[in-house]
Structure 1
Amino acid sequence: MVAAAPAAAAAMRKSFLVPEIKPLDQYDFPRARSAASLAWVLAKGYGGAEHVPAELREPFYTDQYEQEHMKPPLIRLLISSDIYCRAWRQALPSGPDGAPSPRTMRPCCNFLLIVAWCPPSKRSP
């Protein structure tokens, strides 16, 4: 094992942020899951966490009634197919059969159907 140079180790310590640790009875698991999923798709779509626009880095805001909501620009981005196609292009530069990555949502959905993954429906039991 090679030891890191002291200057490199000091720089790493300065840049590494430790998140606040909450007790389990105060931890919001659904919010954490949503935040992690959003962080992943944004990082993949923009080519890394450092390239995500500043207004999308913190996906939630608190309104005057102390309720958390997703930011409207993020909602618009998730409704469009742009972020999903960008994430696909980052993860798989060419399609499953060597075809170029999709530019619209239809090829993404078709691929998911081919690999036997169907989006959940509220109608299904």
Structure 2
Amino acid sequence: MSRTWLFHVLISLCLIKHITAVSVDSQSLLGCEAIIRPSRIYPYSPANYDYTSNTPSQCIQSCSSAGYVYASVSAGQLCFCGSTTANTTFLNLTTTSCQITVCTGDSTLYCGDDDYELVYSSLG
């Protein structure tokens, strides 16, 4: 095998992974909502979750694998799951509150804020 061939294969795999992640995120995004404290709307945190590489796709996959309907990301590194939602009308995503903190796993994506979370369907 030549190095050029191997290089092209690796680049192709990286592009496929990126395109898949973007498609999952954009198709399943429901919106942004305020975090309700002290209890959370989405109260479950996935077991063995790597918060240092948080992305919406990673959170969606973890919540889906655990059998939850919704996945939410907030504060850049947090992922929570749930099966019910209290909000039927999410905030407009152009609101600056929804796009403050970048994800720890991908600085080109937003992962909510300390007071707001981006909510996704994990049903696929």
| TM range, smaller chain | under 0.3
Higher radius of gyration, 1 or 2: 1
When you count strand as a share of all residues, which structure comes out higher?
A: 2
When you count helix as a share of all residues, which structure comes out higher?
A: 1
TM-score (norm 1): 0.25
